[in-house]
Amino acid sequence: MAAVAWAGLSVLARVVFPQQIGWGEAPIAGLAGLLVVLVVVSLLITLWNGRSLWNGRIVSLVRTTAVGGTPLVAAAACVGIIIGLVSRTGIGTGVPAAIIPLAGNSLFLALLAIMGCSLVLGMGLPSAVSYLLLATIIGPVFTDPALGVPILAAHLFIFYFGMMAMVTPPVALAAYATASIAGADVMRASLAAFRFSLVGFTLPYMFVYRPALCLMNDDGGPAAPLAVVGAVAAAIVGIVALAAGMAGYLNARLSWPMRLVCFAAAACALAPDSLSILGSGFSFVDLAGLAMLVGVAVACRRQSHVAA
């Protein structure tokens, strides 16, 4: 019932205020109208019956929303101070000016520099604050045509690495919290967290080099379904192979030669390659990585059967 009322109020807001409210803003206006209707109806019923219909639920909802939103508002205010310092000191233009020349020679080097800046600037910050800060300082780098990165993939790249700062020494707040709970050494816990999450460092690069993972093509338009399937399959193969090589285990313990084969399979699947098979996003290099991973998996399966 509430969903139907929300939809009706959204359409009504669009029809009554066509110049001010578009279809994108209509659901927000409909939600606001629904809240107003609920409050008004609750007050009328309260006046009629002499007691509250909601038994304090609306008051509790407003209080909970205020308590939950206060830290975000305070953090956003702090980010505003940082943004002001960045704009006045020239850091906002200095960082792009230092990174953009790298793009002319190598996109990979530019992404490495952006990754380092994102990890440093994201240290000790919550997710929303980290993204606001990174989008302000590093976001303009991706507007340079020399990079040629779709804007959605670019922002996912910086946001992902801003969050990876939570498990990257020397300031790894997530690892610090875990170490305090477990009573473990802080630096050893942060190094272990970094080692376990190292596979995740490859995913943002795949957002850039395989934009089909973001349902986009190289120009930022919608990607073909076959290209999306190929990109997802290549990502799965590369991540599984890299995780197996780093952990030294894939249904059975891996010897060093088998781990090297896993690293080679991960390199083949994760490396950018424009020679796709019939536009599928899956190239011959990817197939080579898949073949190596399957070979290691079969060998491990036989090894586990022999051990059993």
- In a domain? residue 35: yes
- In a domain? residue 131: no
pLDDT for 95-148, tens place per residue?
777 777 766 667 888 888 888 888 888 877 778 878 888 888 888 788 777 677
Task: Provide the residue type at 151 as one letter.
Answer: I
Radius of gyration, CA atoms only, the chain: 26
- In a domain? residue 245: yes
- In a domain? residue 110: no
- In a domain? residue 281: yes
The range of the structural domain enclosing residue 14 comes to 1-50
pLDDT for 15-64, tens place per residue?
888 877 877 778 888 888 888 887 787 777 777 776 665 556 667 777 88
Residue 251, C-beta contacts closer than 8 angstroms, at least 6 positions apart: 297, 300, 301, 304
Peptide bond into 272 cis (omega under 30): no
How far is 281 from 96, CA to CA, in rounded Å?
31
Q: If you average pLDDT over each of 73-82, 105-114, 142-151, 156-165, which comes out highest?
A: 156-165
| Count: domains in the chain | 2
Q: What average pLDDT does the chain have? A: 80
pLDDT of residue 68: 67
* CA 247 vs CA 252, 268, 288: distances in Å: 11, 19, 21
- In a domain? residue 267: yes
Peptide bond into 170 cis (omega under 30): yes
- In a domain? residue 141: no
